[in-house]
Chains A and B, each alone.
Chain A
Amino acid sequence: MSTAANGSAARAEGAVKVYGEGDAEVRALDGVDAEFAEGRFTAIMGPSGSGKSTLMHCMAGLDSLTAGRVFLGDTDLTRLDEKARTRLRRDEVGFIFQAFNLVPTLTAAENITLPFDIAGRKPDRQWMGTVVDALGLGDRLKHKPAELSGGQQQRVAAARAMVSRPKIVFADEPTGALDSSTGAELLGFMRRAVDEYGQTMLMVTHDPSAAGFADRVVFLGDGRIVDEMADPTAERVLDRMKTLSDGAPGAG
């Protein structure tokens, strides 16, 4: 696998998302232009309510924009109907949420192959083995989610997100519910997935040290991109966040 990151895996152009009307109107996204390169690990940061989740949902085809466009590869999501977006989520996108990622009635293995089962396709056993080994889940496959620790659950979720070789994996605060060492383990795996297998990752996080695992950090504020940073480290991100929040009242 190459680490060359030329083409864009996902892209937003003038993305605007408005919730509500009149006085209750909230501009969750207020003209976002962003590009996420293939084979790269990008973190999105920003204060609560700045639109991180909204951006991710719109890029993943879970939600539709009020104005502007989003692309996944060359596909313009804004032109797809719900049915096509569902199929796209199934085949081209992987998700890791903060918690409750798994179907409680299914074993870890069944949860991992779920995207294939939904599509009615046979999973690629070899690739699945690779992913499971990388995540150290080999001896946990027969267990139901309730029998797994939080960290193990998130690792199963990560395996599921990657097993169908999606164009891009979206992770919304994947370590939010984990202690820092368990979180670091998960992030390490995500990093390896990018480095070794060229997986494109987009992760929302509040945690500067999590952002430190990424290749690039994009900072959101009030629905806009307010800054970005290449090759972040935890300390630099923390510094940047401080300056951003200091400047925030003026920027509003």
Chain B
Amino acid sequence: MLRVALKGILASRARLVLTAFSVILGIAFVSGSFILSDTISKTFDEVFENAFAGTDVVVSSEDDGANGQPEPIPATLLPAVEAVDGVGAAAGGASLLGVVPIKADGEPLTTTGAPQFGFSWTEDEQLNPFDITEGAPPETEGQVAIDAATFTEAGYAVGDRITVVADAARQFELVGVVEFGGGEENLAGATAVLFTLPEMQRLAGLEGQFDSINLAADDGVSAGELSQRVAAVLPPGVQAQTGQDAQQEQANEITDQIRPVTYGLLGFAFVSVLVSAFIIFNTFSITVSQRARQMALLRAVGASGRQVRRSVLIEALVLGLVASAIGLFAGLLVASGLKALFGLFGADIPSTTTQFLPRTWIVAMVLGTGITLIASYLPARRASRVPPVAAMRDEVVAPAGSPRARAIGGGIAAIAAIGLIALSFALDGAGPILAALGVGALLLLLGVGAMAAALIAPMARAIGAPLRGVSGRLGRENAMRNPRRSAITAAALMIGLALVSASTVATQSLSASFSTILDEQFPADYIVTTGDQEAPFSPEAAAAIARQPRVGAVGQLREGDWRDAGGAQRSLNGVNADEFGQLHDPEFTQGGWNDLVAGTVMVSEGQAGSQGVGLGDELVMTFARAGEQRLRVAAIFDESIFGDYFVSLDEYERNYAVQQDIVVFADAAPGAGADAAQAEIARAIRPFPNLEVQNQREFKDEIQSQSNQVLGLIFVLLAFAILIAIFGIVNTLALSVFERTREIGLLRAIGMAPRQTRRMVMWESVIVALIGGILGLVVGTFLGVMLVERAGSPLETLSIPIPILVALLVLAALAGVLAGVFPAWRASRINVLRAIAQE
């Protein structure tokens, strides 16, 4: 039987290749996603491994402070810690974000997202993560060293006077080039400028403070032991971690940040695999029925049903193993493709040696082989039920399940799916809601897929109604003659298109909602940020802008972390209420911007409820640096895009060490020309090369273009699933053409031209693709609308972009044309004589 199975595989190489292709594509996507995310994680692991290489214990603040950065600790802790028995070396360090070197050609050297650091130089060799590769370390004020990658890119030479923007643009003498411990040229795409410790502290506004103190243990003292001893001398809010723990914590933080990307990629990859399961199922169903006579013959000569079934399953097993193995390695290509893709969308991904972990191997092989086996199980079972007597019959059809039963099953699934989606509106919490929506969506797709067989005939008739010519009519009839086959083929395409259209509705609604919110809450004319870096910057910028005569109100926004009485981590915004208040309307229900002074906080209505505070009450807020504070609730507002808590800048300065803005907003002065005001702001921020100013329209355009980018990215990622579906159409049609050889030969014999034959197959392809497309658009738009409706704030403006949906339908038709090319060519090449000689 094994021989029979293997011969079955080799009998039709074209079919084999096409079926294998769908598995290969799906598995390559899975494997590529794993490879990429493992490689990114590994890169950051290495970075932090190097950063903490010689450090046994790290002393730092327990909580984050301003703008999501660690809150500094007082420098006075250093002598106290040094005095602990077992401490061999100790060094305090400081750092600052948003430090931009100006290249030799005068242009700022900025990154697309990676942070731009300033670090203090650590004298102690063991505790210093950097190695000098050229020149010398910074020793006096005004000297800096720079990382090797930046050094090369900026076109510097050691000894140059270079300009670096920290709090403002300043000149420094470049004395050295450094490399990261492990020989890495930079920190995963970030830039690093190294200053002397006092200078770094001054630039960062951290006089008398450190980000952290790193310790090396004496010989014979373990890191764990030392961390306990050091912890004993630390004040509350400051912690001592082993180097390894600190490294792990930072690596985990990054991993947490990239996890959504990883899960997203894997989600798209599994969709692709799901689609290929449809294709495998269809291919095996068709070939089993095509070989039904052969199987009946096997039964007639004494093979048991089990043996027949096993022969099909062995065929699937071999196919699954081979295709998964190819897909596994093709994943390497996919990983670098995805990396390039993210680069194209403005997210450069740093990389170390490609991580091809055993987990990737196992998942790819098990998933690919498993899905092939599962998808071929039903066809195999059907094969085993071909009665031996069928060998003697004319028309041999492998027994199939009843289409009505399937349609009913599909209908029940679809109703259950809609029930689940409805249920999500009654649920609370992101987890259960997403689960209900996700499972509902999957169930709906499968349900509609199962019902599709019943929809094929009416839909094909409707779509093909305008077709007059013989090719079109025959194509339409052919699309309907095997409803089950066409249904599964169409369903595979439906899945891809449903997700594309759901994403379209969701992203377009998101940007429409943003636009609405901006209009309602946010009349500011101009917005100043660091663009993609989303880094904090010096308040000097806001001051410079405020000095411009044509500029009116200038609002500053800072973020900070704190803990509520329940210990939950929350964030607040520090704003200059007098001016910021002119630019942002959070719809106050009690009080107003004027009431926001030092010692007070304003809270959103929702949070006031959950914290159990009202106007005039005291809210207990714990800060990393300032400890427990009681702030009076001065105002309550309905809703703000920025968050739920606001304090004045005075209050912010009391509670956080670092004073940097994250966004600055501005209005044109009354009577000032809009362009003139913007030009003035641009001039004012020229000393801060990583800053950019946008007017409200540009800002909206950017949000729109960002959401388009996200949509574009989703399209590209779903293209895999759609590509697999296209292969499915190719495969099904090629098999159908093969099956209809005799009939096509007859048509050719009685005078049908090859061109007409091609068109006939093309039409069939386009009709099946359009059925998949229409079902996908309907289901997808429904899912998208449900998602938006369920999400609620801030997703409040539903936008159904008809032009994009129409374009998607055209795309589906084009997919049909593309898929039809090969089978149509095959059909037109059928040898007429041989075809009609077939009995």
Contact = CB atoms under 8 A, between A and B. Distances in A.
B161 interface: no
Interface stretch (A8-16, A94-102, A189-197): A94-102
A114 interface: yes
SS of B interface (majority): helix
A103 interface: yes
A63 B833 contact: yes
A104 B481 CA distance: 9
A90 B477 contact: no
Contact of A117 (B470, B481, B743): B470
A120 B478 CA distance: 20
Interface in B747-776: 747-754, 756
A242 interface: no
B748 A86 contact: yes
A103 B752 contact: no
B481 A105 contact: yes
Contact of B751 (A63, A90, A99): A90
A143 interface: no
A102 B836 CA distance: 12
A100 B470 contact: no
Given A103-B474, A104-B743, A114 B469 contact: no
B291 interface: no
A46 interface: no
A160 B837 CA distance: 20
B149 interface: no
A122 interface: no
A97 B751 contact: no
A23 B541 CA distance: 94
Contacts of B743: 100, 103-104
A84 to B, nearest CB: 11
Contacts of A87: 751, 753
B742 interface: yes
A27 interface: no
Interface in A109-160: 114-115, 117-120, 160
A240 interface: no
Interface string B595-624: 000000000000000000000000000000
B746 A115 contact: no
B510 to A, nearest CB: 47
A57 B750 contact: no
Q: Most chain-A Cβ atoms within 10 A of its Cβ — which of B470, B473, B481?
A: B470
Given A57-B833, A62-B832, A105-B477, A118 B751 contact: yes
Contacts of B751: 86-91, 93, 115, 118-119
A106 interface: yes
A55 to B, nearest CB: 13
A119 B747 CA distance: 12
A105 B839 CA distance: 19
A103 B832 contact: no
Nearest to B742: A100
A89 B470 CA distance: 17
Nearest to B752: A118
A53 B753 CA distance: 22
Nearest to B751: A90
A89 B749 contact: yes
A95 B749 contact: yes
Nearest to B748: A86
A95 B748 CA distance: 11
A114 B750 contact: yes
A95 B750 contact: yes
A97 B836 contact: yes
Contacts of B837: 53
Contacts of A88: 751
B746 A106 contact: no
A85 B405 CA distance: 49
Interface string A65-101: 0000000000000000001001111110111010111
B750 A106 contact: no
Given A106-B477, A117-B470, A120-B469, A160 B750 contact: yes
Nearest to A86: B753
A118 B760 CA distance: 11
A102 B480 CA distance: 17
A103 B746 contact: yes
Q: Most chain-A Cβ atoms within 10 A of its Cβ — which of B481, B749, B754?
A: B749
A119 B832 CA distance: 18
Contacts of B756: 118
Interface in B710-767: 742-743, 746-754, 756
A86 B750 CA distance: 8
A118 B477 contact: no
B467 to A, nearest CB: 12
A93 B832 CA distance: 15
Nearest to A88: B751
A193 B753 CA distance: 28
Given A100-B742, A105-B478, A114-B470, A62 B749 contact: yes
A169 B602 CA distance: 95
Nearest to A83: B753
Given A90-B751, A91-B751, A97 B746 contact: yes
Interface in B294-317: none
A91 B751 CA distance: 8
A106 B746 CA distance: 13
Interface in B799-839: 832-833, 836-837, 839
Contacts of B750: 89-90, 94-95, 114-115, 118, 160
A212 to B, nearest CB: 26
Contacts of A91: 751
B491 to A, nearest CB: 22
A206 to B, nearest CB: 15
A63 B833 CA distance: 7
A106 B474 contact: yes
Interface string B775-787: 0000000000000
Contacts of B474: 103, 105-106
Contacts of B832: 62
Contacts of A99: 839
Interface string B463-487: 0000001100110011011000000
Given A62-B833, A105-B474, A105-B478, A90 B752 contact: yes
Contacts of B748: 86
A58 to B, nearest CB: 10
Nearest to A53: B837
A105 B736 CA distance: 13
Contacts of A105: 474, 477-478, 480-481
Contacts of A100: 742-743, 746
Nearest to A87: B751
A111 B751 CA distance: 13
19 contacts: A62-B749, A63-B833, A86-B751, A86-B753, A86-B754, A87-B753, A89-B750, A90-B750, A95-B749, A97-B836, A103-B474, A103-B743, A103-B747, A104-B743, A105-B477, A105-B481, A106-B474, A114-B747, A118-B752
Question: Closest 7 interchain pairs by CB?
Answer: A90-B751, A105-B477, A117-B470, A89-B751, A118-B752, A105-B481, A118-B470
Interface of B: 469-470, 473-474, 477-478, 480-481, 742-743, 746-754, 756, 832-833, 836-837, 839
Interface of A: 53, 57, 62-63, 83, 86-91, 93-95, 97, 99-106, 114-115, 117-120, 160
Given A62-B749, A83-B753, 14 more contacts: A63-B833, A87-B753, A90-B750, A90-B751, A91-B751, A93-B751, A99-B839, A100-B743, A104-B743, A105-B474, A105-B478, A106-B474, A118-B470, A118-B753
